[in-house]
């Protein structure tokens, strides 16, 4: 029996993701800015949080960083190809830690030969509704195929 056809999607920018990143990093920076302790240490922590916020925005919400995942191809047997902005392809397998929900889909992939997994968060505004539906269905199928 032949499995489902592979699904290939292109991930776009996410306004929901950008808003989430900005709000959470601003809250973290404000919490540290008003925490007790040495002012120089608090200032350094706030600057570090700001730098990490910019990196997260570029990599995850805006997809402008070189290592940002801009495309995904998933096959029914649990194989995944991640396409990065700089042209690199990372092939691997769907991990059981992946999650498929209505508002958030997280794809956890262990690239071939890698020691650590890579997670890709997919929000509903990153791709068209039909592509998201196909991806979610195939990830559910691939998740059950990877478990067996």
- pLDDT the model gives residue 140: 85
Domain assignment of residue 55, yes or no:
yes
CA 21/CA 49 separation, integer angstroms: 11
Domain assignment of residue 143, yes or no:
yes
What is the total count of domains within the chain? 2
Tens-digit pLDDT string for the chain (148 aa): 567 888 999 999 999 999 999 999 999 999 999 999 999 999 999 999 999 999 999 998 999 999 899 999 999 888 999 999 999 999 999 999 999 998 899 999 999 999 999 999 999 999 999 999 999 999 888 765 454 4
Are 104 and 138 found together in one domain? Answer: yes
Cβ density class 103-133: b for 16+ within 10 Å, e for less: eebebbbbbeeeeebbebbbbeebbeeebbe
- pLDDT the model gives residue 1: 52
Domain assignment of residue 93, yes or no:
yes
Domain of 124 in residue numbering reads as 7-12+68-147
Helix (H, G, I), strand (E, B) or coil at 36: coil
Are 79 and 48 found together in one domain? Answer: no
Are 100 and 130 found together in one domain? Answer: yes
Are 137 and 75 found together in one domain? Answer: yes
- pLDDT the model gives residue 93: 94
Residue 111's H or E segment, with its range, is: strand 105-111
- Give the list of residues 6+ apart from residue 123 with CB closer than 8 angstroms, or none: 14, 16, 17, 103, 104
CA 113/CA 128 separation, integer angstroms: 32
Are 139 and 79 found together in one domain? Answer: yes
Are 107 and 47 found together in one domain? Answer: no
- pLDDT the model gives residue 76: 87
CA 65/CA 67 separation, integer angstroms: 6
Tell me the whole-structure pTM to 2 decimals.
0.83
CA 143/CA 91 separation, integer angstroms: 16
Domain assignment of residue 85, yes or no:
yes
Domain assignment of residue 1, yes or no:
no
Domain assignment of residue 105, yes or no:
yes
């Amino acid at each position: 029996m032949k499995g489902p056809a592979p699904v290939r999607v292109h991930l776009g920018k996410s306004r929901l993701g950008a808003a989430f990143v900005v709000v959470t990093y601003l809250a973290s920076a404000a919490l540290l800015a008003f925490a007790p302790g040495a002012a120089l240490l608090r200032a350094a922590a706030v600057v570090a949080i700001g730098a990490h916020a910019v990196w997260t925005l570029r990599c995850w919400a805006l997809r402008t960083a070189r290592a940002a995942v801009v495309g995904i191809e998933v096959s029914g047997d649990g194989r995944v190809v991640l396409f990065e902005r700089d042209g690199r392809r990372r092939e691997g397998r769907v991990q059981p830690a992946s999650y498929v929900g209505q508002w958030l889909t997280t794809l956890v992939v262990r690239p071939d030969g890698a020691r650590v997994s890579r997670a890709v968060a997919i929000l509903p505004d990153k791709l068209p509704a039909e592509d998201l539906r196909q991806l979610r269905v195939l990830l559910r199928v691939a998740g059950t195929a990877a478990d067996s």
